């Protein structure tokens, strides 16, 4: 099972020197991948509750978020081996042609290290700011993925759909063939079917173990129904680490509690057949604390 970690592209630590230090340390420690999340804006009075916090409020570190593709491209110049993943870009906010060029550039400049993670978004405020249609996001996502894979793998490219059209053209191609791996965050059955049908894998975050296991079974059945090899799909699990000096009770969140409890959770995810787990870290106290947390967490898997 591969091991990844997030980088400080959000909050007060999102400074050039910190990005370089964290990326180089992750590579030195033997992490397989670096991941960046995305947030388009921090709405002062959000219309949609944030699904992670108990009261639905947005974390303070969302007030400063670097663009994930540019941040990864910057890091690519200061590393040589580690994979570079978006976890995740929200499909409704992007055009597949312009985004394909940005991601292709990252893949070329990193010598084929891109991992492309996508989601559908959840914030009504971000949909409004991006001029995106929240109601049509499912159908648009299907066409977006088809267009993206066509742009990346065919030469010349030609694509005509309801939402996107690419005239017969020559467009630069990424290093990885037939295209960089595509992972989808998916929670509803329709989204899980899309991952099974159109992606290289599924990226769950914040789902209890029992739920993850059940959804992996669904994912593989959906892949089989779509005529794909179910075992070819990867499962990339995001782990919101909360390591405490004491144990928590049976109702604790996944990846929260004592070191022993967290290590047991990681081993349980491995037994589910996950291809990778990446540790999600947002420490605000300073870069030294982040680097220490990365070193400590690397020992868990």
- Examine the pLDDT at 244 and tell me if it is beyond 70: yes
pLDDT at residue 189 in the model: 95
pLDDT at 284 over 70: no
pLDDT in tens, 7-54: 999 999 999 999 999 999 999 999 999 999 999 999 999 999 988 888
pTM of the model: 0.95
Assign a CATH topology to domain 2-298: TIM Barrel (3.20.20)
pLDDT at 283: 62
DSSP state string for 56-114: -PPPGGGGSB--HHHHHHHHHTT-SS-EEEEEEEEGGG--HHHHHHHHHHHHHHTTS-E
Q: What is the mean pLDDT of residues 148-159?
A: 98
What is the arithmetic mean of pLDDT over 265-278? 96
pLDDT in tens, 109-152: 999 999 999 999 999 999 999 999 999 999 999 999 999 999 99
Please enumerate in sequence order all residues whose Cβ is within 8 A of that of 20, keeping only pairs 6 or more positions apart, or say none.
Answer: 75, 78
Q: Beta-carbon neighbour count of residue 240 at 10 Å?
A: 16
For residue 65, pLDDT over 70 is answered with yes
- Among 219, 154, 150, which Cα is nearest to 189's? 219
- Element at 147 (helix H, strand E): helix 137-153
Give the start-to-end residue ranges of the domains of the chain: 2-298
Residue 242 host element (H or E)? strand 242-243
Residue 80 has pLDDT above 90, yes or no: yes
Across the range 261-279, mean pLDDT stands at 96
């Amino acid at each position: 099972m591969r091991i990844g970690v997030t980088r400080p592209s959000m909050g007060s630590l999102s400074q050039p020197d910190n990005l370089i230090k964290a990326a180089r340390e992750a590579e030195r420690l033997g992490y397989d991948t670096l991941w960046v999340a995305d947030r388009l804006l921090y709405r002062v009075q959000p219309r949609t509750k944030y699904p992670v916090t108990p009261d639905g409020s947005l974390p303070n570190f969302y007030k400063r978020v670097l663009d994930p593709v540019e941040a990864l491209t910057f890091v690519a110049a200061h590393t040589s081996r580690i994979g570079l993943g978006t976890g995740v870009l929200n499909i409704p906010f992007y055009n597949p042609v312009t985004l394909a060029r940005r991601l292709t550039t990252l893949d070329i400049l990193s010598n084929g290290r891109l991992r492309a993670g996508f989601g559908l978004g959840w914030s009504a405020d971000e949909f409004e700011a991006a001029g995106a249609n929240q109601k049509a996001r499912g159908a648009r996502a299907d066409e977006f993925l088809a267009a993206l894979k066509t742009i990346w793998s065919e030469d010349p490219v030609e694509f005509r759909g309801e939402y996107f059209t690419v005239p017969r053209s020559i467009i630069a191609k990424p290093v990885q063939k037939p295209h960089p791996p595509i992972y989808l965050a998916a929670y509803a059955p329709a989204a899980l079917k899309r991952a099974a049908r159109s992606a290289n894998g599924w990226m769950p975050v914040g789902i209890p173990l029992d739920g993850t296991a059940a959804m992996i079974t669904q994912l593989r059945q959906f892949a089989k129904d779509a005529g794909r090899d179910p075992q070819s799909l990867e499962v990339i699990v995001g782990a919101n680490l909360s390591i405490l000096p004491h144990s928590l009770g049976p109702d604790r969140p996944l990846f929260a509690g004592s070191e022993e409890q967290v290590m047991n959770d990681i081993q349980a995810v491995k037994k589910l057949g996950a291809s990778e787990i990446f540790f999600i870290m947002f420490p605000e106290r300073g870069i030294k604390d982040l680097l220490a947390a990365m070193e400590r967490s690397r020992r868990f898997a």
